[in-house]
């Protein structure tokens, strides 16, 4: 593939100009700003000391630890729900025909383009104890959704809903049903067929979707901001902490927490590329 | 749970005889659970937004949107989104082109960097841009509370969309037609306009729609960078937040409904584009 590309490339001045423009654009927009954040994380800032020790000290602040563990809990549940739901819905969409199938497929894509703020507002209007449709009845059985962890999990699950489905559906379409049919005709149960035949063939697509979901869930901000109290030790997730600290002139901690999320994001991209690469080369 | 099983699989079983459906008992139950969860998580809350917006009648809804300050925020949002989409159509296609057709050391790194804005938390994206283009800028550019700052943030978060939709199409594109055109004396520009561009058009449109939808609804990266000044740097999503914080849910819902409408239109348009492309083969 690379050889083919090389013979095809005409290295005229136009090619060089385009290459330069593209690199300059990406550098000014992404690479340079990200490198400044990394530099600020470890440099002395506003009279506070720099270096790795200070960075670790900022991250071991109990409020920061609380924020990251809350983010971890929310991410775990939201991604778990989305993975099970996503694989199930993908199977339904690809393997079965039923009325409303197309509506369902459009509906699961919707969270991709709904504003996070709208997601937050929607959950508040449906489930908040004061003004939500089901708030009172849920409160009467002791469940608070808004301003507590279930609301945060729901907001995060909403935002990261389509990722697993979008990765698994095309793979399911491509592998077809022949092996599954064969397994079934040889006496395997539906469940065995799923575990032994279907799941192994969609494994990397599921993994890919899960990594994307984790990256999205870790960094969710807008929807979470609206359904959370957002105060330290009270619903303050990692992203909310960054905003609060930045606003309260504690930029060093904001940068330290942001750096952790940058590393997580870059890690997710690298993992995704590693998963994608072997598939592309076969 | 057993009650749910009976009610859900009931209709599925009767439908199995019809060709429109091939659900089994187990998959019917699965569909029931999926639809129930989707209703609780997505459908009912979104309907609650539309109901809250229209509760006071269409007149109130319209009045909320045409309130001068809200209208200014909506206009700014749409104009910024259109501008950033236009930028992405040109630069995104260009980046995809360079990534597919050019070869140079570090190309693989560039390819990975394109994904950063997609994976980076939006609030971190805002912080990242502020560190270079904010008050303590090492290059002396301060875009906080300016419309250029909003444009910059939107350009950052929408960077991957056009690139990632155009890139695979460009990879698959047959070079024979291009070479034929070139051998028949067509210049590079003519070849691009007449041969390459038409095949890329659906992908560019899809990427542009995604970028537009994202730009319209963007929130996190703008929180720190937009000063949120009414009439000047206030965008729709921040306006919604202001309404919610002021306990003004009806007006928040009105703006949210408009954003929701844009989201639905974009998703349906994308669905139609992908179906048309699939049909053409």
**Tens of pLDDT along B193-244?**
888 888 899 999 999 999 999 999 999 999 989 878 889 999 999 999 999 9
Mutate to test the interface with B, among A21, A81, A118, A214 (most CBs of B within 10 A): A118
- How far is Cα A91 from Cα A177, in angstroms, rounded to an integer? 11
pLDDT of B269 = 86
Kindly list the residues from chain A whose CB atom is less than 8 angstroms away from the CB atom of residue B119. 215, 219, 265-266, 268-269
- Annotate B65-98 with DSSP letters as a single string: HHSHHHHHHHHHHHHHHHHHHHHHHHHHHHHHHH
- 8 A C-beta contact, residue A257 and residue A240: no
**Tens of pLDDT along A146-180?**
888 999 999 999 999 999 999 999 999 888 888 88
Region B135-164: mean pLDDT is 92
A48 forms beta bridges with: A45
DSSP classification of residue A231: B
- 8 A C-beta contact, residue A228 and residue A10: no
Kindly list the residues from chain A whose CB atom is less than 8 angstroms away from the CB atom of residue B174. none
- 8 A C-beta contact, residue A86 and residue A163: yes
- 8 A C-beta contact, residue B70 and residue B137: no
Q: How confident is the model at residue B259 (pLDDT cuts 50, 70, 90)?
A: very high
Q: Which two tokens stand for residue A191?
A: 């469940």
pLDDT of A277 = 64
- How far is Cα A137 from Cα A63, in angstroms, rounded to an integer? 33
For chain B, list the domains and their CATH numbers. Answer: 2-54 (no CATH), 58-280 (1.10.3720.10)
Kindly list the residues from chain B whose CB atom is less than 8 angstroms away from the CB atom of residue A107. 38, 42-43
pLDDT of B77 = 95
Region B42-54: mean pLDDT is 94
- Annotate A18-57 with DSSP letters as a single string: HHHHHHHHHIIIIIHHHHHHHHHHHS-BTTB--HHHHHHH
Residue percentage of chain B with pLDDT more than 90: 57
- How far is Cα B267 from Cα B206, in angstroms, rounded to an integer? 10
Sign of the torsion angle spanned by Cα atoms A275, B128, A216, B163: negative
What interhelical angle do A62-95 and A251-281 show, nearest 10? 30
- 8 A C-beta contact, residue A30 and residue B116: yes
User: Which residue in B has a C-alpha nearest to residue A220's C-alpha?
Assistant: B121
pLDDT of A278 = 58
Contact call for A221 and B122, based on CB within 8 A: yes
- How far is Cα A39 from Cα B151, in angstroms, rounded to an integer? 25
Measured over all CA atoms, what is the biggest interatomic distance in chain B, rounded to whole angstroms? 73
- How far is Cα B239 from Cα B254, in angstroms, rounded to an integer? 11
Contact call for A122 and B46, based on CB within 8 A: yes
- How far is Cα A172 from Cα A152, in angstroms, rounded to an integer? 31
Q: How confident is the model at residue B75 (pLDDT cuts 50, 70, 90)?
A: very high
Contact call for B128 and A33, based on CB within 8 A: yes
Tell me which residue in B41, B94, B210 faces A154 most closely, judged by beta carbons.
B41
Contact call for B241 and A226, based on CB within 8 A: yes
Residue in the structure block whose two tokens are 């490198």: A35
- How far is Cα B232 from Cα A224, in angstroms, rounded to an integer? 26
Between chain A and chain B, the number of residue pairs with CB atoms below 8 A apart is 266
State phi, psi for B202 to the nearest 5 degrees: -60, -40
3-state SS, residue A141? coil
Mutate to test the interface with A, among B43, B90, B127 (most CBs of A within 10 A): B127
DSSP classification of residue B112: H
Which residues are CB-neighbours of B195 under 8 A, at least 6 positions away? B177, B178, B181, B186
- How far is Cα A213 from Cα A80, in angstroms, rounded to an integer? 10
Contact call for A125 and B52, based on CB within 8 A: yes
In chain A, domain spans: 62-281
Residues of chain A with pLDDT below 70 are: 1-11, 46-47, 277-282
Tell me which residue in A92, A109, A120 faces B267 most closely, judged by beta carbons.
A109
CA B51 to chain centroid, in Å, comes to 24
Kindly list the residues from chain A whose CB atom is less than 8 angstroms away from the CB atom of residue B164. none
Which residues are CB-neighbours of A162 under 8 A, at least 6 positions away? A108, A109, A111, A112
> How far does the CA of residue B199 sit from the closest CA of chain A (Å)?
19
Comparing CA positions, the residue from B2, B237, B202 lying closest to residue A118 is B237
- Whether the per-residue pLDDT at B7 is higher than 50: the answer is no
Kindly list the residues from chain B whose CB atom is less than 8 angstroms away from the CB atom of residue A135. none
- How far is Cα B12 from Cα B27, in angstroms, rounded to an integer? 9
Q: How confident is the model at residue B10 (pLDDT cuts 50, 70, 90)?
A: very low
- Whether the per-residue pLDDT at B130 is higher than 80: the answer is yes
Kindly list the residues from chain A whose CB atom is less than 8 angstroms away from the CB atom of residue B54. none
- Whether the per-residue pLDDT at B272 is higher than 90: the answer is no
Q: Which two tokens stand for residue B170?
A: 């460009």
3-state SS, residue A235? strand
Burial annotation A166-201 (CB, 10 A radius, 16+ → b, else e): bbbbebbeebeeeebeebeeeebeeeebeeebbeee
Kindly list the residues from chain A whose CB atom is less than 8 angstroms away from the CB atom of residue B116. 30, 34, 265-266, 269
- Annotate B198-241 with DSSP letters as a single string: HHHHHHHHHHHHHHHHHHHH--HHHHHHS---TTTT--HHHHHH
Region B145-154: mean pLDDT is 94
Domain A62-281 indexed as CATH 1.10.3720.10: yes
DSSP classification of residue B281: -
**Tens of pLDDT along A59-107?**
999 999 999 999 999 999 999 999 999 999 999 999 888 988 988 988 8
Sign of the torsion angle spanned by Cα atoms A192, A198, A201, A204: negative
């Amino acid at each position: 593939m690379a050889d083919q590309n090389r013979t095809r490339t005409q290295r005229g001045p136009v090619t060089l100009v385009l290459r330069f423009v593209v690199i300059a654009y990406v550098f000014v927009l992404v690479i340079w700003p990200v490198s400044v954040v990394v530099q600020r994380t470890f440099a002395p800032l506003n009279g506070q000391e720099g270096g790795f020790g200070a960075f670790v000290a900022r991250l071991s602040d109990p409020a920061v630890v609380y924020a990251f563990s809350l983010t971890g809990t929310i991410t775990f549940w939201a991604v778990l729900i989305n993975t099970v739901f996503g694989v199930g819905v993908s199977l339904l969409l690809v393997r079965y025909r039923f009325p409303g199938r197309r509506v369902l497929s459009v509906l699961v894509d919707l969270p991709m383009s709904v504003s996070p703020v709208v997601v937050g507002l929607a959950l508040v209007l449906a489930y908040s104890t004061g003004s939500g449709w089901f708030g009172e009845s849920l409160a009467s059985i002791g469940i608070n959704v808004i301003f507590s962890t279930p609301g945060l999990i729901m907001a995060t699950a909403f935002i990261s809903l389509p990722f697993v489905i979008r990765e698994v559906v095309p793979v399911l379409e491509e592998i077809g049903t022949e092996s599954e049919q064969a397994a079934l005709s040889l006496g395997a149960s539906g469940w065995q067929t799923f575990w032994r035949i279907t799941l192994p063939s969609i494994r990397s697509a599921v993994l890919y979707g899960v990594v994307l979901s984790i990256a999205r869930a870790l960094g969710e901000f807008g929807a979470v901001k609206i359904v959370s109290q957002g105060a330290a030790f009270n619903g303050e997730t990692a992203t909310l902490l960054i905003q609060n600290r930045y606003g309260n002139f504690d930029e060093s901690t904001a940068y330290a927490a942001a750096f952790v999320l940058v590393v997580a994001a870059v890690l997710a991209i690298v993992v995704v590329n590693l998963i994608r690469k072997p598939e592309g080369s076969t | 749970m057993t009650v749910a099983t009976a009610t859900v699989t009931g209709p599925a079983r009767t439908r199995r005889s019809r060709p429109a459906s091939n659900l089994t008992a187990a998959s019917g139950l699965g569909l029931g659970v999926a639809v129930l969860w989707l209703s609780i998580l997505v459908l009912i809350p979104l309907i609650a937004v539309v109901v809250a917006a229209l509760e006071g009648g269409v007149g109130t809804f319209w009045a909320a949107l045409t309130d001068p300050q809200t209208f200014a925020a909506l206009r700014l949002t749409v104009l910024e989104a259109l501008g950033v989409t236009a930028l992405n159509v040109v630069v995104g296609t260009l980046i995809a082109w360079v990534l597919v057709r050019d070869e140079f050391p570090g190309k693989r790194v560039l390819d990975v960097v394109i994904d950063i804005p997609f994976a980076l938390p939006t609030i971190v994206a805002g912080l990242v841009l502020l560190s270079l283009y904010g008050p303590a800028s090492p290059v002396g550019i301060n875009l906080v509370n300016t419309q250029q700052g909003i444009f910059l943030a939107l350009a950052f978060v929408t960077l991957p969309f056009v690139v990632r939709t155009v890139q695979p199409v460009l990879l698959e594109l047959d070079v024979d037609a291009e070479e034929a055109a070139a051998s028949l004396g067509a210049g590079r520009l003519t070849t691009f306009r007449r041969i390459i561009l038409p095949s890329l058009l659906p992908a560019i449109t899809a990427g542009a729609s995604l970028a537009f939808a994202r730009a319209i609804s963007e929130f996190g990266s703008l929180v720190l960078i937009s000063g949120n000044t009414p009439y000047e740097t206030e965008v729709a999503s921040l306006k919604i937040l202001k309404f919610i914080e002021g306990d003004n849910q009806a007006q928040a819902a009105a703006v949210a409904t408009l954003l929701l409408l844009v989201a639905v239109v974009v998703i349906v348009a994308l669905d139609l584009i992908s179906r048309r492309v699939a049909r053409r083969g």
